Chain A
Amino acid sequence: MVFNSYTFVVFFIIIMILHNLPFSWKVKKINLLLASYVFYAAWNPPFILLLWLSTVVDFYVGRALFTQQNVTKKRLLLVISLMGNIGMLCFFKYGGFILENFVELVNLFGVDYHPAKPNIILPAGISFYTFTTLCYTIDMYYKKSEPVKSMLDFSLFVTFFPHLVAGPIVRPPQLVPQFETEHKATMKNIMDGLLLLTFGLFIKVVLADGFLAPTANEVFGATSALLAVDTWMGVLAFSGQIFFDFAGYSTCAIGVAMCLGFALPQNFRFPYAAIGFTDFWRRWHITLSAWLRDYLYIPLGGNRKGTGRTYVNLMITMLLGGLWHGANWTFVVWGGLHGFYLWVEKFFRDTFSRRGTQPEAVPMTVSDKTPSLGFLYALLTFFLVNVTWVFFRAGTFDQAWTMLGSMFGILKGGAPMLTTISIIKVWSIATIMVVTHWWMRNTSLLQLVYKVPFWLVSIGWAAMLVALAFSQESSSSFIYFQF
């Protein structure tokens, strides 16, 4: 089930009614859990079994990890959990990719091996819920929090439908206490949640699907060089599309949870206003970058094992972060490029701090005295991010090089492709997006709406609803569902 569908509208109304009836807290939680399974099964019913398996195994393994005193047995339990979750992820998500690369490798050595291509269906959300359960078992290993007492609360933590399929990736202390303690959504929660749901749907359905996706698909589907302006418009279109699509999903998820009285963590904070890549990864898919930091970068040693090792740990984290997004080397290169940018940034930061230079001179920070300089650095960051999106979106390296060659005028003889109206749509939306991100970089939508006159909020809200009704886009899935 996707948020942008009539089925979800009916589903949500039913859940809201049920959740506000005078049932006991336990009954309400059971209703939410059953609803979450229905939400997931509406995609592909058999894959509920995988979700159950992951939930049941990690509940008991997590409890055992917390209580186990024997270090060897404790490590063995952790290995079981890691192998179970990562094994499942590897099989379903990377099985075909691993086989493909293995075949290429052995063919290189002259072995004539051509197995049949496996037809493995990727269960929706597997990358997200395996990371959620891994959070729990690793936290139990390090005793970072208490084990969840009831299977019901743990199942809800893993399966809660707003975050189940595409995040935000939640940590046990963020969500479990909310299930353990009975509480009700206030009118403020419900209204704020409905606004966020509307906004999330608007940016996904109207902006991403309606206005930007067609141009992005057209340009990235080109089989030969294009004019630079067309290629850049396609990349900008994708840049906007992936943000609006994914931030739209996260905003809907947060809004829906809020309507039910639950708080999910923020996942995007106007990332195209980021100044530098450290800042970018504190604004883009915040819960994933925090997960990678806490469960990969820091266990690898973080920055505690010397400068050289820090650079290595940084790159490993970014390469694996890239691979998490998809079973294709282009995603790895995308991650590697971000790693490289972070390297350069770290190098400059380390160089300036060795020289004892004032913070204002370091381009990754901006003070009130240098907002225009900060905006220029943010534009530079946005420009570099757009280059990385080429690898993220292109299906092959050939396509990526053709795109980059067209973007920078290296490939000559490119042809125009886009109509005037397409260019106007993309340019307008991209410009408004960048300016809005900069303007909102230190605030949030909800903080803003409580500062403006109510009639202005009404007009904006009504405009989004009208645009949703007029866009008439079919219920296309969210880009991050394929991850």
Chain B
Amino acid sequence: MTNETLARPALLAFLLFIVAIASWEFYLRSDGVNNAYDDNPALWAHSRGQVYLPKDKSTVFVGSSRIKFDLDTKTWIDLTGDIPVQLACVGSSPLPVLYDLAKDPNFKGKLVLDVTEGLFFSTNDGNRQRPNEGLKHYHDLTPAQRASFMINKPLEASLVFLDKDNYSLNALLDKLELKSRPGVFMFPIFPRDFDRTYFDRQSSMRPAFVADTVQQNTQKGIWKLFASGPPRPPLSGAPLDSLIQTVKTAIDQIKSRGGEIVFVRTPSSDFYWAGEQKKFPREQYWGKLLADTGCQGIHFMDYPETDHYICPEASHLSPRDGIDYTRHLARTLQNKMMWKFPKSF
């Protein structure tokens, strides 16, 4: 190359880069992909920082993936005037987050604790990885990371290809679905339209998923795959008592500061609900949890308004049913649990 500088290659490289990214972005948009946020530790940490909003103006939600799908944040805000702070983590036990809030002397707010029995009553370290990563990120947050997060926000809002779970290099390579080696578990690829996460960490199925039984059946197959491993007896006896005791201790700490806590059992249906009823009989788990902690709970099967939902993939509500469920949840919290919200309804 006879150029004296790399200016010409730099300019051409930049143009090629812009063309490549723009083409990919255009292709994805024409394929119906919309904006979503990576549900990463940075986004979680941002939500975690919102828990100090006044108690009468916000509610913190902690749990697993169901409350992320089933709580429609727009409906909640429109109805109650209250800000929902979503700290639930998919595929995870809510307990690390509960313990963290209990240890935080500045948290005195309203807390909705979502119970998915298989995760709530799990002591598997793998089920605590996501919340622990989020907690570590939050507590070790540097000024530079805060600034990066704020710069990233408009980028993720504008560019659909910025979706690590579906369109990063590794995600694209995983979609090749090369045959696994015998004895090696390959994490299944979730249908593209199953989970889109918004900035407030609400998750939602896209309309394409709700309309597509192929994607729904794929997702059902994934849930069945997760359940098909070597049978692991659910926690019971002394270990169960011990876990519930730690939950009670954390709850009592929050209550002693003026906080309010309600457990919710969000809907599941079909084989999933049947399996959960069999493995975690209501009286021995949900009932015992409420009794031992002295907290109230809202179980979806206790109300005619919520006992009939059919979850598209047996475990999470569709967006339309999520709106309905959110209205009922808010009304029950106000009318039965006597929670105060900025707006009465």
Residues of A within 8 A of B (CB): 1-2, 5-10, 41-45, 186-188, 191-192, 194-195, 206, 210-211, 214, 415-421, 424-425, 449-455, 457-459, 461-462, 465-467, 469-475
Contact call B147/A42, Cβ cutoff below 8 A = yes
Contact B38 A187 (CB under 8 A): no
A residues less than 8 Å from B40 (CB atoms): 474
Cβ of B338 < 8 Å from any Cβ of A? no
Is the Cβ of A457 less than 8 Å from the Cβ of B13?
yes
Q: Contact partner of B5 among A7, A42, A187, A470, CB < 8 A?
A: A187
**Cα of A266 to Cα of B293 in the assembled complex, Å:** 62
Candidates B168, B182, B184; contact of A472 at CB < 8 Å: B168
10 nearest A-B pairs in the assembled complex, by CB-CB distance: A461-B13, A42-B144, A462-B16, A191-B6, A458-B12, A6-B151, A457-B9, A1-B144, A472-B168, A465-B17
Number of A-B pairs, beta carbon distance below 8 Å: 143
Interface of B, secondary structure class, is helix
Nearest B residue to A449 by beta-carbon distance?
B6
Decide if A192 touches B142 in the complex (CB within 8 Å): no
CB within 8 A of A415: which of B17, B41, B183? B183
The answer to whether A211 and B148 touch (CB under 8 A), given A45-B143, A450-B1, A466-B17, is no
B147 and A195 contacting across the interface, CB-CB below 8 Å: no
Known: A41-B143, A421-B174, A471-B169. A466 touches B21 (CB 8 A): yes
- Report the bound CA distance from A473 to B165 in whole Å: 11
CA distance A459 to B168 in the complex (A): 20
- Name A421's contact: one of B152, B167, B176 (CB within 8 Å): B176
Kindly provide the distance from the CB of B38 to the nearest chain A CB, expressed in whole angstroms: 7
List, in ascending order, chain A residues with CB within 8 A of B6's CB: 188, 191-192, 194-195, 449, 457
Q: How many residues of B contact A (CB 8 A)?
A: 49
The 8 A CB mask of B167-202 against A (1 = contact, 0 = none) is 111101110101111111010000000000000000
Residues of B close to A421: CB separation below 8 A? 173-174, 176, 178
User: Chain A contacts of B336 at CB under 8 A?
Assistant: none
Instruction: Summarize A's interface: helix, strand, loop or mixed.
Output: helix
Write 26 A-B pairs (CB below 8 A) sorted by A numbering: A1-B144, A6-B148, A7-B148, A42-B147, A43-B143, A45-B143, A188-B4, A191-B7, A191-B10, A194-B10, A210-B169, A420-B178, A449-B1, A449-B9, A450-B1, A455-B12, A458-B13, A461-B10, A462-B16, A465-B13, A465-B17, A466-B17, A470-B169, A472-B162, A472-B164, A472-B168
**Closest partner residue, chain A, to B170 (CB atom):** A210
Determine the chain A residues whose CB is within 8 A of the CB of B7 once the complex forms. 187, 191
**A42 and B142 contact, CB distance less than 8 A:** yes
Q: List, in ascending order, chain A residues with CB within 8 A of B167's CB.
A: 470, 472
What is the minimal beta-carbon distance from B109 to any residue of chain A, in angstroms? 29
- Inter-subunit contact B181/A416 (CB<8 Å): yes
